[in-house]
Amino acid sequence: MAQTTPGTISPPTSTVIRAEVTAAEGAAVTDAAYPVASSTRSAGWKSVLLFPRFVGGGTPTVSIQLLWRVAVVGGNGWAIGDTTEALAEGESVTVETHGRDFFARVYALTGSPTNVSIHCAGREPTRPDGPRGS
């Protein structure tokens, strides 16, 4: 999957940032396991909404762990961030991104869904698009 960006404010849209994940993902936090090319670029957004859409299962839930792209000695790497509570269909979580690139790792998946897709929508821009002071 190519690097994605959150949807737009007007009209309000979301972007699928993870498509049809079928199981919780591995613990090894490497570029091979979580390619930068599949991350989400949140430049321009102070915060975003993340929410799941499931196919099948009996009351499925997903916990999402954020991986943040950071500069480290000798190059770049992933830093493990917060893990969300279990999210059911129709539930969302606000993530403060401050414009950083991130990867939404499926940390836990319950309820035996066929798959889950994670959607992302811009919540608060880093620079409001409203009236400016003089």
Q: What is the pLDDT of residues 62-84, one digit of tens each?
A: 999 999 999 877 778 999 999 99
- As to burial, measured by CB atoms within 10 angstroms (0-12 exposed, 13-18 middle, 19+ buried), residue 130 is exposed
> For the whole model, what pTM was predicted?
0.86
Domain residue spans in the chain? 15-125
Q: How much is the pLDDT for 67?
A: 97
Task: Kindly give, in sequence order, each residue whose CB lies less than 8 Å from that of residue 54, ignoring residues fewer than 6 positions away.
Answer: 60, 62, 89, 111, 113, 114, 115, 116
- pLDDT tens-digit map of 96-120: 999 999 999 999 999 999 999 999 9
> What would the CATH number be for the domain defined by 15-125?
2.60.120
3-state secondary structure of 36: helix
Q: What residue ranges in 56-114 does DSSP mark as E strands?
A: 61-72, 75-83, 87-88, 93-96, 101-110
